Amino acid sequence: MRIVLDTNVLVSGVLGTTGPPARLVDGVLEGELELVFDVRILAEYEDVLRRPELALPRPAVGRLVASLERFGLEVVLPPWPVHLPDPDDEAFLAAAFALGCPLVTGNLRHFPASARQGVEVLSPRDFLERWRAGRA
């Protein structure tokens, strides 16, 4: 199943060992979920994961980003037609829209319903519940 992960979910999943974000990151790294991204999303992942306040080892971040790039699905996206308060969030909606897959975020308010253009935007917990139900 394809999925777009907002950066906050990826970071939460990397920093935590339990909970929905961690399970989703595990699902991506284990090949159960196919991560969809474009160059802007991948660059944001790397930028945020390398922030000093996260104290993640640089080699580990490099390996993680390389794994995401190698095993995920990179897409080339047109600009998103609806402007969001944070223009960097538009790539996440565009990626989900392009492949008809859900966008999972811990910040649902960053993606107002009026801007989604039919993209399903879910919290990590809601996605995980649906994913588990679909696999049962």
Q: In this predicted model, what pLDDT tens digit does every residue of 75-89 receive, in sequence order?
A: 998 889 888 989 999
pLDDT of residue 135: 59
pLDDT of residue 126: 97
CB of 9 within 8 A of CB of 111? no
Contacts (Cβ under 8 Å, ≥6 apart) of 92: 4, 6, 41, 103, 105, 111
Does pLDDT of 103 surpass 60?
A: yes
**pLDDT (tens digit per residue) in 21-75:** 999 999 999 999 999 999 999 999 999 999 999 999 999 999 999 999 999 999 9
Domains of the chain: 2-135 (3.40.50.1010)
